[in-house]
A and B are shown apart, each in its own frame.
Chain A
Amino acid sequence: MSDITSQSLFELTSNIKEKKLSSEEITKAFIDRAKNSKKLNVYVTDNFEKAIDQSKKFDSNPNFDLKLPGIPIAVKDLFCTNGVRTTAGSKILNNFVPTYESTVTQNLWSQGAILLGKLNCDEFAMGSSNETSFFGNVQNPVGENLVPGGSSGGSSAAVAANLTPVTIGTDTGGSIRQPASFTGTVGLKPTYGSCSRYGIVAFASSLDQAGPMTKNVRDCSMLLEVISSFDQKDSTSIDYKRNYYSKELSKDIKGKKIGIPKEYRVDNMPDEIEQLWKNGILYAKDCGAEIIDISLPHTNYALPTYYIVAPAEASSNLARYDGVKYGFRSPGQNLIEMYEKTRSEGFGDEVKRRIMIGTYVLSSGYYDAYYLKAQKVRQLIKKDFDDAFSKVDAILTPSTPSSAFKIGEKTNDPVSMYLNDIFTVPINLAGLPGISIPAGKDKNNYPLGLQVIGKPFDEQNILNISYALEDKINFKNDISDWWLSE
C-alpha cells in the first residue's frame, strides 16, 4: 500500500471499506502531514482535534454504504461551516463563526466525510493567485515562491501537496479551473444551478458555483455526485435529474464531436500552450472523437463583460459587511464614520477595487453604458456557445494562457492578473460546466491544463472526455515535498 496521503479518494474509500485502513489512521496521516506543511500556508483554520474525534466515532460505528465513508476533507474557507470559523480570506470576517452549514458541505458530511479544516483563498474569492488573502499567500507545492492560482489557491495546493484527498472550491471566473491547472490537479466548475449556493459567502451571485478539486477525474466524478443537489434554499438551484457521475464514468468517447474554437488562439500565447492544445486534439482523435473547428465570435468581450458583471454584483453582495451585525467593526463617532473605518480597514485592496468598479458601473448615468451593455454581451456570449453546441458535444481549450507565475509577479498589475482568466471566464458567463485536467508541463516543468467545456447539465460527457484524455496523457506531477519541515 502506498503512503496514505498520496492515495486517491477512490483508493482511500476502498481501503476503508475493505477495512485495510481506519478513518482515524487516514485522518491522522493528513493531519500529521499538514503539521509539517505550514510553509505552504494552506490552512486558515484547522479542525484537527474535532476531525480525529469524528474519525474515531466513524470507526466505532462505520457505515460503508456512504460515498465518502470516514474520509477527511478540507474545504475552501468560503463555505460556511457550523461552529467552525469562516473568513472568506478577509479580515472583515476574521472572527466570524457561522451557526449554519452550507448545503454543499452538508452534502459531504451526510455522505460520511469529516471536516479537516478551512483552506486559504483570495479575499472573497477575488483574485487569481491567492495573494489577496488576509491570511497571506499560499505556496504552490509545484515550486517554491510560485502561486497556486486562485481564488481556490489553498484548495489546489492542498490537493497537490496531499494535504487533503479531495477538496471543494468555488469558481466565479475560473477560481477552480485556473488553480487546478497551476497545480497539476483536476478541477470542475459545474453548470450554474447544479450545486446550491446556500451558505457559500457570495462573490458574484449569477456566476458563483461550487465544484470538486481532485487528483484525478474519477475522484472528481464521485465528489460531484455528492455535492450536486437541488436545494429549495437557493432560488437559482435547478431541479433536474443528476447522474451517478462516478458509476456512469466511461472512457468510451468514440464519435463524440469536440469543437476547437479559433478565438482561443490568443496573441502572445506561449508555444508550449499551443503545443499542449495540439496534443490534446491528437489524443481526442486517438480516442475516436471527431474534431470540428468552431467559432465563438464574442470571446474577446468576455473578460471586459466579466469585469463589469462580477464587480457589480460583488459591490452589492459585500454591502452587508458593514460592522453592524457580525464580523469586524472599527468604532466611529457616528454611523457613517463606523462604516468608513470598518470597510476601509476590513477589506483589502483588490476587494475595494472591485467594490469601486461595481459601484461605478451601476451608478445612474453609467448603468446603461456598462452594466446593461455587459448583460447584453453576456447574452451574445451565451448564444455563441448555444450555436456551437448545435454542432459539437464539447469544446476543448487550454485552461489558462500561462503556467503558474512567481509570487509578487503580478500583484501590481491587476489587468495582467485578470488576463489569467481569459479562457475560463466565458464559461461562467454562459453558465456552462467546464473541467480542467492536467495535460502537460512547460519548460520549467510547471503543470499546464486543458479545459473541456460542456453543454448545460452535461457534466457526465465532459467527465467522460476528461477521463479518456487523462488516460492518454498519463500526467505525473513531480512534487518534491520541498516544503516539509521534517
Chain B
Amino acid sequence: MSKNSEYLIERENKQYEVIIGLEVHAQVTSESKLFSQSSTKFGAEPNTQVSLVDAAFPGMLPVINEFCIEQAIKTGIGLKAKINKKSVFDRKNYFYADLPQGYQISQYKYPIVGEGKVILDMPNGQKEIGIERLHLEQDAGKSIHDIDPNNTLVDLNRSGVALMEIVSKPDLRSPDEVNVYIKKLRSIMRYLGTCDGNMQEGSLRADVNVSVRLKGETEFGTRCEIKNVNSIKFMQMAIISEANRQIDLLEEGKEIDQETRLFDTKRNETRSMRSKEDAHDYRYFPDPDLLPLEISQELIEKIKSDIPELPDEKKKRFIDKFNLSPYEATILVSDIETSNFFEEVIKNSDVKLATNWITGELFAVLNEKNLEISQSPVSTKNLSKLINIIKDGTISGKIAKTVFEQMIDGDQDPLIIVKEKGLKQESDPKAIEELIDKVIENNSDKVAEYKSGKDKLFGFFVGQAMKESKGKGNPQLINKILKEKLNG
C-alpha cells in the first residue's frame, strides 16, 4: 500500500496506526441445526423450532449434522485454508438463561479449518489478510428483555444453529479494509452457498479486536475486544471510536486495560463489559458426548471438486477473457448474483457494452430503487436485446437510454418499444443527406462562419441534424455526411 493511503490517526505530531482483527460469526446455510434436526428457518414463532436436544433435556445427546461439516470444509477451501483431518468439539461452560445446556459446543484447541487467506482489492492494489482459523460452534438462544416488564423471555429457535467462527489475523489496518474484508468474506461464502451473509437476520456478526500503536512500532499494543457488532457501518464506527479512546488514554499517559467492550450505537462509543480479571473461565474440555471429528481425504477431494469458481478466479477470467479492466471485473464479481447476471447477458451480446450498461445504467436503477440484482426490473434477456440493437446500429446509445427507462417498467421488450415508438435509428444515407441539406439551407450564416475557420460549429450542425432526425439519425452517418458536405 502506498504511503498516502495509510489510515493513521494524528495527535500533535504523532501518528497512530490502528490494528484490527475480526472474529466473524457466520451462520452456516443448512436446513437443520448443528447437532439436532430442528429447522433453522428465520422468523418463525418463538420456541417453535426447538428439539429436546436444543432445549437440553436430561439424557439428550448431540449428533453431528454432516452437512454443516461439509459446509465448513467448503468455506475453508474457499479461504484457501488448511482443512484439519482431525478436529475436536469442546464444551465452553457458562451459565446463561438462553444457553440451555449450560455450555456451548464449540471447537477450541483443534478447529476444523486452520490457516488461510483472503485477498482484498483496495483502490491502490491488493492486500492479503491472513485467516487464523475457522471453527464450528452452536449459537445460543435469544433473551428478550423488552416484552415483559418483569421477566426476561427466552426464544430457543436459534439455540443450536451452526455458526462458523472465522478468525482473522491482526492484519487489518483501517475501517475501509474492514469494509472490504467483510464484503469479500461474504462474497466468498455466498459463492459457495455456505452462508447467506444476511446481516439484518444476524447471519453475519463480528467481534472486533482493536489496538493502536505509534507508527513505526513493531510490537502490538494492548487490545480490546468489541463484542457482537452486526453491521459493517457499526464495525467501522466502533473501530474509529475505540481507536480514538485508546489513543486518548495513551496520550494521557494511561494504560489500556485488556477487556471486552460493547459498542453503543446511539452514543457512538464503546463501553466496558468486563475486564480481563472478570473474564469468564470457560473451562473448555473435549465434549465426551462427541467423538473427535475425523475427515477423510476423499471427502475433502469430493468437496473440492464441487467448489464453484470463486471471485478471485472469476475476476482473473473476466480480465483475461473479456478484456475488462481490474476495476470493472472487481465490481462484476463482487456478488455472485451480479456475475451470473453479467455472464447471462453476454451469452448473446457484446461484452464491453454489457459491462457498461450493467455497471452504469442498471446499477444506478438498482441503487435508486434499493434493489438487489436478483430483483432487477430488467431481465438478462431484454438487456441483451437492448445491447444488440445498440451494437447493430438499430438505435443510438442516446435513444437506448430512453428505451431503457421504459424497459424498467415491467421488464418490457426493447424491440417492441423501439417498434411502437418508431425509435429505430435512421441509417439510410439518402435520408440523412436530405435532412443535412435542410440544416445547411436553414443555417447559411453558420455555414459561412464555419467555412471561415470556426471549426467548433461542427458540433452545432451535428446537434441540428440530430434534432431534425428527432434523435433517430445514425450519429456516425450524420458525422460522415456533414463532414463531406461542409468540407467538400
Q: Chain A residues in contact with chain B, CB under 8 A? A: 79-80, 86, 88, 93, 96, 98-100, 102, 197-202, 204-206, 232-236, 312-313, 315-316, 318-320, 322, 324-326, 335, 339, 359, 362-364, 367, 371
B322 at interface (Cβ–Cβ under 8 A)? Answer: no
18 other contacts beyond A320-B101, A335-B96, with CB at 8 A cut-off? A79-B59, A96-B58, A197-B59, A235-B290, A236-B290, A312-B285, A316-B102, A319-B101, A319-B102, A319-B103, A320-B56, A322-B95, A324-B154, A325-B57, A359-B283, A362-B93, A363-B281, A371-B285
Asked if B95 and A339 sit within 8 Å, CB to CB, the answer is: yes
Asked if B285 and A319 sit within 8 Å, CB to CB, the answer is: no
Asked if B103 and A316 sit within 8 Å, CB to CB, the answer is: yes
Residues of B near A324 (CB, < 8 A) are 97, 100, 154
Asked if A235 and B58 sit within 8 Å, CB to CB, the answer is: no
B462 at interface (Cβ–Cβ under 8 A)? Answer: no
- Option from A102, A364, A367 in Cβ contact (under 8 Å) with B59: A102
Kindly provide the distance from the CB of A388 to the nearest chain B CB, expressed in whole angstroms.
25
B268 at interface (Cβ–Cβ under 8 A)? Answer: no
Asked if A100 and B57 sit within 8 Å, CB to CB, the answer is: yes
Annotate B55-93 by CB proximity to A: 1 below 8 A, 0 otherwise: 111111111100000000000000000000000000101
Kindly provide the distance from the CB of B430 to the nearest chain A CB, expressed in whole angstroms.
82
B152 at interface (Cβ–Cβ under 8 A)? Answer: yes
A324 to B154 alpha-carbon distance, docked (Å)? 9
Annotate B3-32 by CB proximity to A: 1 below 8 A, 0 otherwise: 000000000000000000000000000000
Which of A96, A312, A324 is the most central at the interface, judged by chain B CB atoms within 10 Å of its CB? Answer: A324
Q: How large is the interface on B (under 10, 10 to 19, 20 to 34, 35 or more residues)?
A: 20 to 34
Kindly provide the distance from the CB of A429 to the nearest chain B CB, expressed in whole angstroms.
13
A312 to B281 alpha-carbon distance, docked (Å)? 14
A401 to B481 alpha-carbon distance, docked (Å)? 116
Asked if A80 and B283 sit within 8 Å, CB to CB, the answer is: no
B288 at interface (Cβ–Cβ under 8 A)? Answer: yes
Q: Chain B residues in contact with chain A, CB under 8 A? A: 52, 55-64, 91, 93, 95-97, 100-103, 152, 154, 281, 283-285, 288-291
Residues of A near B100 (CB, < 8 A) are 320, 324-325
- Option from A98, A232, A322 in Cβ contact (under 8 Å) with B102: A322
- Indicate whether A205 sits within 8 Å of B59 (C-beta atoms), given known contacts A316-B102, A320-B101, A362-B283: no
Asked if B61 and A235 sit within 8 Å, CB to CB, the answer is: yes
Residues of B near A235 (CB, < 8 A) are 61-64, 289-291
| Chain A to chain B contacts (Cβ below 8 Å), 5 pairs | A80-B59, A233-B63, A235-B291, A236-B291, A316-B102
Asked if A364 and B61 sit within 8 Å, CB to CB, the answer is: no
A202 to B64 alpha-carbon distance, docked (Å)? 19
A325 to B57 alpha-carbon distance, docked (Å)? 9
Which of B58, B100, B102, B283 is the most central at the interface, judged by chain A CB atoms within 10 Å of its CB? Answer: B58
A165 to B382 alpha-carbon distance, docked (Å)? 80
- Indicate whether A206 sits within 8 Å of B97 (C-beta atoms), given known contacts A96-B58, A100-B57: no
Asked if A98 and B285 sit within 8 Å, CB to CB, the answer is: no
A86 to B100 alpha-carbon distance, docked (Å)? 19
Q: Which 8 interchain pairs have the tightest Cβ spacing?
A: A319-B102, A205-B288, A362-B283, A206-B288, A320-B56, A199-B59, A201-B58, A80-B59
Residues of A near B57 (CB, < 8 A) are 80, 98, 100, 325-326
Residues of B near A362 (CB, < 8 A) are 93, 283-285
Asked if A319 and B95 sit within 8 Å, CB to CB, the answer is: yes
A370 to B61 alpha-carbon distance, docked (Å)? 26
- Indicate whether A198 sits within 8 Å of B58 (C-beta atoms), given known contacts A236-B291, A313-B288, A367-B285: no
A150 to B44 alpha-carbon distance, docked (Å)? 46
Residues of B near A198 (CB, < 8 A) are 59-61
Closest B residue by C-beta to A232:
B63
A325 to B58 alpha-carbon distance, docked (Å)? 11
Kindly provide the distance from the CB of B228 to the nearest chain A CB, expressed in whole angstroms.
19
Residues of A near B97 (CB, < 8 A) are 324, 335
A432 to B73 alpha-carbon distance, docked (Å)? 35
A99 to B283 alpha-carbon distance, docked (Å)? 31
Asked if B58 and A205 sit within 8 Å, CB to CB, the answer is: no
Residues of B near A233 (CB, < 8 A) are 61, 63
A80 to B288 alpha-carbon distance, docked (Å)? 20
A320 to B93 alpha-carbon distance, docked (Å)? 11
A232 to B62 alpha-carbon distance, docked (Å)? 10
Residues of B near A79 (CB, < 8 A) are 59
Closest A residue by C-beta to B290:
A235
Residues of A near B61 (CB, < 8 A) are 197-198, 233-235
Asked if A204 and B59 sit within 8 Å, CB to CB, the answer is: no
A363 to B285 alpha-carbon distance, docked (Å)? 10
Asked if A364 and B281 sit within 8 Å, CB to CB, the answer is: yes
Residues of A near B95 (CB, < 8 A) are 319, 322, 339
- Option from B55, B59, B91 in Cβ contact (under 8 Å) with A201: B59
Asked if A236 and B59 sit within 8 Å, CB to CB, the answer is: no
A232 to B52 alpha-carbon distance, docked (Å)? 16
A102 to B97 alpha-carbon distance, docked (Å)? 26
Kindly provide the distance from the CB of B32 to the nearest chain A CB, expressed in whole angstroms.
14
Residues of B near A102 (CB, < 8 A) are 59
Kindly provide the distance from the CB of B379 to the nearest chain A CB, expressed in whole angstroms.
47
Asked if A363 and B283 sit within 8 Å, CB to CB, the answer is: yes
A79 to B91 alpha-carbon distance, docked (Å)? 24
A88 to B290 alpha-carbon distance, docked (Å)? 23
- Indicate whether A93 sits within 8 Å of B58 (C-beta atoms), given known contacts A232-B63, A235-B63, A319-B102: yes
Closest A residue by C-beta to B283:
A362
Residues of A near B288 (CB, < 8 A) are 204-206, 236, 313
Asked if B63 and A325 sit within 8 Å, CB to CB, the answer is: no
- Option from B58, B63, B101, B290 in Cβ contact (under 8 Å) with A80: B58
A319 to B58 alpha-carbon distance, docked (Å)? 11
Kindly provide the distance from the CB of B451 to the nearest chain A CB, expressed in whole angstroms.
92
Closest A residue by C-beta to B289:
A205
Residues of A near B60 (CB, < 8 A) are 198-199
Kindly provide the distance from the CB of B51 to the nearest chain A CB, expressed in whole angstroms.
10
Closest B residue by C-beta to A99:
B52
Closest B residue by C-beta to A237:
B61
Which of A86, A88, A201, A316 is the most central at the interface, judged by chain B CB atoms within 10 Å of its CB? Answer: A316
A319 to B63 alpha-carbon distance, docked (Å)? 19
Kindly provide the distance from the CB of A347 to the nearest chain B CB, expressed in whole angstroms.
13
A96 to B64 alpha-carbon distance, docked (Å)? 27
Asked if A325 and B291 sit within 8 Å, CB to CB, the answer is: no
